Structure 1
Amino acid sequence: MNALVRSHVPNGIRLIAIYIAEAHSQDEWPVGQTISCVDQPKTFEQRLENARRFKKDFNFEMPMFVDDINNTFLNTYGSWPFRFFVIYEGKLILKAEPDKETFTYDMNEIDKWITNFYQSHT
């Protein structure tokens, strides 16, 4: 993710992360200690602290916003547990979906899509 940010910032492309509800909180849907290390926040301050800890623990360089405790972003965009969106001129133009078998994203494909889109709009 950090490499993706670094490669596109010079072109004026802003990549941001939005920290949403915990997909595998240890008090709701635990998946081992390495994944489920926090409870589902009950307050915005707790969610904000989880986001800060994530940025620090994973040296996450991308600017990060935090969804409100009512999950407005999550409910509006269906972003659980993890999605990539491209919003251009106020319109949602891409909602990338993970691989149906591995539930992962090919970061090279995301990078190529952003590069191709940028080149076709400059």
Structure 2
Amino acid sequence: MGMVHVTSGRANFTYDDLIKSNSVPVPQSFIPKSLLKQMLVRENELRLSDEYQKQFSEAEQSSSSSWLDVVNELQKQVIREFHLDEEMDAALLCLRCATQIYPDLKEIPFYTKYNRATDGNLQIGDIVPNVPIVQVDGKEGQLFDGLKSTYYELINFRFVYILEAHAQDEWPISSARWSPTQMPIKYNQTRTVEERIAVTRDFIRDFNLEMPIVIDKPDENLFEKLYSSWPVRIYIIDKDHRLVYKAQPSETMLELRELIDHLRIIAESNE
């Protein structure tokens, strides 16, 4: 289930770990591999269908539901179509954990094939690497290079636009939850500098954003690879270019209170 699934971003998460984290005991051989593969293919078909894309969009515009609620019902439909509804809970767990049971199936579900979430190698205290970036005006540069040495300029907030999290040609959810236009946000994965700049300009326009934005160069996506920032992450870097804070999802959310507390401590220590 993407970023919010218990296995997201955990490359070493095993099937046994998964079973221990759930209350429903499921034998590893409950659903044969060949059948699970067919079910995953059918789930993809339903996710891409006009019917479910519409439901995703409607759910994301509601204050009482989300696209994940729609996925839950979609997966139940798959279970019913394959005549396993008498064992719904166990079958759902097998479907959702198919890639832990059979790792060679991981290229089928969108939520594993296009889930790039990892913790990465960059740790608190490390000197952060410079990476090539492109400004919205098309000028190339190095992130963190060329900045003045004053502390407050070094910690200026800045967006780096990386890979799309839910591109229409990869893992679409037709979300409009936070869109000022109230319309679903639909972009294909950006693969050129020009495409990425165009989406960035739309973002600045729609959100009336004044914060500086630069883009990760799409030929390498080096910032995303080095900083493990997909789909979103917040960092605090000190005056010596050391990483002092790296936001981690908790219960599917980034804890802004924790970030604010870190910034307050830093500000007080520099008064």
Quick check: which has more Rg, 1 or 2? 2
Deviation at 1:84, TM superposition (A): 0.4
2:192 and 2:221 map into 1 onto residues whose CA distance is 11
The answer to which structure has the higher helix fraction is: 2
Name the counterpart of 1:45. 194
Pairwise CA RMSD: 1.8
Q: Which moved more, 1:23-32 or 1:33-42?
A: 33-42
Say if 1:33 and 1:93 are closer, same or farther in 2 by CA, change over 3 A: closer
Among candidates 225, 245, 260, match of residue 111 of structure 1: 260
Higher relative contact order (CA 8 A, sep 6+): 1
Residue segments in structure 2 that go unaligned for 5+ positions in a row = 1-151, 177-183
For residues 48-94 of structure 1, what are the alpha-carbon distances to aligned partners after superposition, in whole Å with 9 as ceiling and x for unaligned? 11111112111222211111012110001100000001111111121
2:200 and 2:168 map into 1 onto residues whose CA distance is 16
Residue segments in structure 1 that go unaligned for 5+ positions in a row = 1-10
Stretches (4+) displaced over 4 A: none
Among candidates 4, 14, 17, match of residue 159 of structure 2: 17
The sequence identity of aligned pairs, in percent, is 35
2:253 and 2:209 map into 1 onto residues whose CA distance is 18
1:98 and 1:73 map into 2 onto residues whose CA distance is 19
TM-score normalized with structure 1 length: 0.80
- How many equivalent pairs are there? 110
Among candidates 228, 232, 252, match of residue 82 of structure 1: 232
The AA in structure 1 aligned to 2:233 is R
Secondary structure in 1 matching 2:257: helix
